[in-house]
Structure 1
Amino acid sequence: MELLQEKNIHVSQRDDKAKWIIDNYSNIRSFTEHDIEKITSNYSTLIGKGGFGEVFRGVLDDEDDVVAVKRYIRGDLREEFMKEIRIHAQMSHKNIVKLIGCCIGKNRLMMVTKFISNGNLDALHNSDIFIPLSTRLGIAMGCAKALSYMHSMHLSSSSLICHGDIKPANILLDANLTAKVSDFGISKSLSGGITRWTSNVKGSIAYMDPIYYREGRVTSKSDVYSFGAVLLELIARKSMKEGGISCEAFRQACAKGKGLRELLDIEIAEECNMNILEEIAKLATKCMIVDNIKKRPQMNDVAEHLRTWIFQVRNGGHEKPAWESTLDKVHDALKKGMQSAGIFSSSIISNPQKHNFGIFRSNDVTIFTKKDISGITNNSSHLLGKSTFCNVYKGILDDNTLVAVKTYSVFSYDEDLRNSISTSITIMSKIAHRYIIKLLGHCSDADHLPILIYEYAAKGSLNDILYSKEDFPLELRLKIAVKTAEALEFLHSSAFCVIRHGNIKPSNILLDSNLMPKVAGFTSSRRIAENNNDQVASMEFAHIHYMDPIHIQSGHFTVKNDVYSFGVVLFELISRKKPVYHCHDKNRRLIPEFIRAYETAKSGKAMFDEGIMAEEDIAVLEEIGRLARECVSLEIDGRPTMKEVAERLKMIRRMKESSAMGAARC
């Protein structure tokens, strides 16, 4: 059964099939050849090349979104291309490279995926960068999670997916060294989980299941074999394809109880690691059993073993936390000139299941135990920040994903706060937006209030950069404003329900490693019933200087409360002054001072930050100031919607870009 036949649609023509895919997978964008030329700046940055095509770096629209564009070299591979798109489009998992869209032109076949910053695993054995055992296991874990997902019966059809070409070159690594499985060019759909047979055997021979090679027999266990080879490479730091290691050598060493240390990478072959390394080697060789394919483990069983070992290594006291010992060194090496093809050299759940690290659910929000939290945070060893009510710690998940773990003080227990946290968990588990921080999980068996686990924002918050001495150019301020407005626009028009954030302020606008904003701080958020945009709040956990005065007086909440708060943030962005600031031996309030400036001088120039007051930018700043003034209007119906705010900010940003080009020509 073909992947798309469950809808009983017969597609006879190739072009019709291409149109069908675009029309029936709403998450997949359709690009023209002209679009791709613009995205890649006429294919100016080649980042990889293989037998089927070339891969270019690109930027999507004006979204500051870096992508990878794979261009097929041969036009006669149309059927293979369509099959890859059909399979990839069905999958959504954090350890699988995201498919953004495709171009199905008359002469060109291209796909657009998310760009993964640290290249692939292919060159691991050629590097002299120290990679701890826990990090290597984390890379394996990410790949195992992806394969376990692919081999499950919970995709958009009744089929599971066999990847068919698991190898280091197809395991990409993000900034945290989290694995992302890529390249589904020879993947196959196994309807009902049954075995398929093929006479067209393709793949990389060093990682290929011998049974598949000899007989053309394809099952999910074919991927298990290939994963076993990758796992051996990770602990040996030698290449299968170059003959540096073999499964048989590891099998004999484990059977004889001697000789294993000589096969391992000397950097991790410490006495304290040997028991775990022997277990890893045994698991890898079990994955690569040839005489009886049924003896190979399932990928979810492999993931269980990996979780146990990761917990033991990270909490056994033998290694420093990975974020301190590994990532900084890797990023330093990249800055010194390593190319993006590989980080180690310059060459190119519908039914919850209990695990050591939590319960995985279909909405990707994991339930953790207190023991898990202790392991993830290394016993709360790295404090990121604290407030009256909570502490936030840095942590690392089993697949190397960096996280922020928010714990509430025992003294902050309050039933209203508990209810607000529960509401925020419900809201954040149902929404997904690129400029909203992701809730990855929570722990509800904490002694007092739930513990929340979020994606990690490497650059802190807008508050940090806004009130530091760092250079903060107007272009960056506008980008942050536009993206934050888009996030709020999404909340106010979410398909889940209309959501009022309730606590917009600079410290709740987090910044990732690329200084892209991520709206956080949902403790005061409320769902607003359809056609009822004016409801009464019970308890608020927001900063008084950002709260809408109308809300303070009436207790009623509406999405226009967020518009007011965002207006305050806009004033801060163009003035670099806090809502209450000290000037000439007096405390002054930002909003009244701006309003007074506009009423007396018809301009906000007296309030603007001197660091961004280039002559050609004054008009841009005035437009932002006028928009902010409308947002904080005490006539609530006179405030714009966040959709209108976002559109106007985009227009102002284009105005800024035009003025910059004009200044450059002069």
Structure 2
Amino acid sequence: MGWGAADINECMNNPCIPYGTCTNTPGSYRCSCPSGYRGDGKRNGSGCIPISVPHGKLAIGVGLSAGMGLLVLLSTCFWLYKFQKKRRSKNRKEKFYKRNGGLLLQQISTDEGILQKTRLFSVKELEKATDHFSESRILGEGGQGMVYKGMLSDGKIVAIKKSKVVDENQVEQFINEIAMLSQVIHRNVVKLLGCCLETEVPLLVYEFICNGTLYDHIRDNNDEFPLSWNMRLKIGVEVSEALAYLHSATSIPIYHRDIKSTNILLDEKYVARVSDFGTSRSIAVDHTHLTTLVKGTFGYLDPEYFQLSQFTEKSDVYSFGVVLVELLTGQRPISLAKMEEERSLATRFLLCMEAHNLKTILDSQVLEQGKREELIAVAKLAQRCLNLNGMKMPLMKEVAMELEIIKISQTHSTTSDTKYQELLLPKSKAILVSDDDYTWTSTSGNIIPSSEVQPLMIHTA
């Protein structure tokens, strides 16, 4: 045939088994088996025989496949759960934020231009600051809630107050207080740094004061750093100045409503700082008093307020009077060990004053260190603060001025008694202390009963 024979496609004759694959080659052909089979795939050959898989390997394969499927399913469920949890948490935070007056606070802050002064903390920030409110971070616990020590991300140490309950009917009043107290800047008032409204009960964040409460220092007066009379008088001046500021110098008068030695903190320099405004109330200009449920602490409560539930600035004056007596005597405001009629420190103090027997109730350290004139002047001022008739009590700013004058007199230790008395009162009213039963002698030489001595009043032009 000239150049040679032509190649024939051998696959046309179907030499392979039905499910085999035929591939034509020059002068021949090749059969191949599908996956999972072995053999030459030819009809006249070994054909294609299924490859048998060992039972163990098959089980492993099935198990791995099922495991991978289950892992994918669990991962999907986990991320769906996380997403739903995050979404629910966000919704809860938004719900609490609105319920706790967050939108109102934003509006007030914007309207009054105090947005920078009322810081809103996230619950995540405060949980991190307190190790999720760990018990090891608890500073104290009161009837209204817990106080935790925390450290913010910038390293600042703070005190975080977590209340137990919230009155939804007073949210607006609470928010107004937050906005107002955030603006209070006084060296003797613990600064409110901000709040968190994303929790069921709002959290309040205050600056941290490191040296504990006045109550602790009075009760545990140690030899290493005793609370001297000079320090006690200084603390009395500082607390009175803070209350006078809140009553008179703020745009709206603020009444604390729970002044007591446990709410007076001492910083690293033993400067007094008034704290815990959990029961404080601001008083609008057109209101003379606020009628509420009786709040405060027994032993410090103004009897007039306790009976009438009518709170005025004089109620704070009464409570401060009890603190003054604590500073003078070193005793607890309530003593359960005594008979019922003598349990109140204020009552025992007033009885001693009426009997001209002040020495018997004063702290021994105060008696040793304090000048007679100073002690009597402070005691008489405390007596006026504890007057059962609010109309006869001094104003807080008057109390602060009188204590400041008594303190100033300490810097004039060489000044004669007469000059000291002239500093306290006009010359016509100057008084001199005579013997131990606390009768009083005027500069004219006439004897005046102590009950007739005029209160120390400071008049300015």
TM bucket, shorter chain: 0.5 to 0.7
Q: Deviations 1:233-263 (Å, cap 9, x if unpaired)?
A: 0110001123666334333433433x21110
Partner of 1:288: 386
Distance in 1 (CA, whole Å) between partners of 2:348 and 2:167 is: 42
Name the structure 2 match of 1:247: 346
One-letter amino acid of the counterpart of residue 43, structure 1: F
2:200 is the alignment partner of 1:107: yes
Q: Is the 8 A contact 1:151 1:220 kept in 2?
A: yes
Are 2:239 and 2:274, in contact at CA under 8 Å, matched by a contact in 1? Answer: yes
Q: Which has the larger radius of gyration?
A: 2
Which of 80, 87, 101 is matched with 1:14 structurally? 101
Matched, 1:48 2:144: no
- Contact residue 21 and residue 86 of structure 1 kept, 8 A: yes
Residues 280 and 31 of structure 1: is their aligned pair in 2 closer, same or farther, counting only changes over 3 Å? same
Aligned to 1:31: 121
What residue identity is the alignment partner of 1:54?
M
Q: Distance in 1 between matches of 2:369 and 2:227?
A: 17
Deviation string for 1:558-590 (max 9, x for gaps)? xxxxxxxxxxxxxxxxxxxxxxxxxxxxxxxxx
1:139 maps to amino acid: I
Q: Deviations over 1:309-347 (max 9, x none)?
A: 2223354289xxxxxxxxxxxxxxxxxxxxxxxxxxxxx
Inter-CA distance 175–272: structure 2 relative to 1 (3 Å threshold): closer
1:65 to 142, 153, 156: 156
Residue identity matched to 1:134: N
Q: Does 1:206 align with 2:296?
A: no
Is 1:185 aligned to 2:278, yes or no?
yes
The partner residue of 1:127 within 220, 236, 239 is: 220
Give CA-to-partner distance per residue, 1:270-296, whole Å, 9 cap, x none. Answer: 386222112111110100111x31211
Give the Cα–Cα distance (whole angstroms) in 2 for the partners of residues 142 and 271 of structure 1: 20
- Give TM-score scaled by structure 2 length: 0.61
Q: Render the CA deviation track for 1:456-502: whole Å, top value 9, x for unaligned.
A: xxxxxxxxxxxxxxxxxxxxxxxxxxxxxxxxxxxxxxxxxxxxxxx
State the Cα distance separating 1:90 from its structure 2 match. Answer: 3.4
Query: Whole-Å Cα distance in 2 between the matches of residues 228 and 289 of structure 1?
Result: 9
Paired amino acid for 1:142: E
Decide which of 233, 245, 254 is 1:137's aligned counterpart: 233
State how far apart, in whole Å, the 1-side matches of 2:399 and 2:254 are.
17
Q: Does 1:261 align with 2:354?
A: no
Of the candidates 266, 269, 288, which is equivalent to residue 173 of structure 1?
266
Contact 1:166 1:227 in 2 (8 A): yes
What is aligned with 2:54? Answer: none
User: Any gaps of 5 or more consecutive residues in structure 1?
Assistant: 1-10, 319-355, 357-666
Partner of 1:231: 324
CA-to-aligned-CA distance 1:128-159 (integer Å, 9 cap, x gap): 3221111001111111011110111x42x4x2
User: What is the DSSP-based 3-state SS (H/G/I as helix, E as strand, rest coil) of the residue aligned with 2:278?
Assistant: coil
Structure 1 counterpart of 2:312, from 219, 223, 226: 219
Q: In the alignment, is the contact (CA less than 8 A) between 1:87 and 1:184 conserved in 2?
A: no
Offset of residue 99 of structure 1: 0.9
Question: Is contact 2:299–2:344 with CA below 8 Å preserved after alignment?
Answer: no
Q: 1:162 maps to which residue? A: 255
User: Cα–Cα, structure 1 residues 293 and 197, in superposed 2: closer, same or farther, change >3 Å?
Assistant: same
Matched letter for residue 287 of structure 1: C
* Equivalent residue runs for 1:330-345 within 5 Å: none
For residues 317 and 174 of structure 1, do their structure 2 counterparts lie closer, same or farther at Cα, with a shift above 3 Å needed?
A: farther
Cα RMSD of the aligned pairs, angstroms, is: 2.6
AA partner of residue 140 (structure 2): G
Cα 1:149/1:271, change in 2 over 3 Å: closer
Partner amino acid, structure 1, of 2:146: E
What's the counterpart of residue 395 of structure 2? 298
Cα distance change, pair 21–181 in 1 and its aligned pair in 2 (3 A)? farther
Q: What is the letter of the counterpart of residue 144 of structure 2?
A: F
How many residues end up aligned between the 2 structures?
303
Alignment match, 2:10: none
Query: 1:151 touches 1:161 (CA, 8 Å); kept in 2?
Result: yes
Where 1:301 maps in the other structure, the secondary structure is: helix
Tell me, in whole angstroms, the C-alpha distance in 1 between the residues paired with 2:254 and 2:228: 31
Amino acid at match of 1:65: K
Separation (CA, whole Å) in 2 of partners of 1:305 and 1:143: 13
Q: In structure 2, how many angstroms separate the alpha carbons of the residues matched to 1:47 and 1:37?
A: 16
Gaps of 5+ in 2: 1-97, 337-342, 416-422, 424-461
Q: Secondary structure at the match of 2:193?
A: strand
| Residue identity matched to 2:152 | L
Counterpart in 2 of 1:606?
none
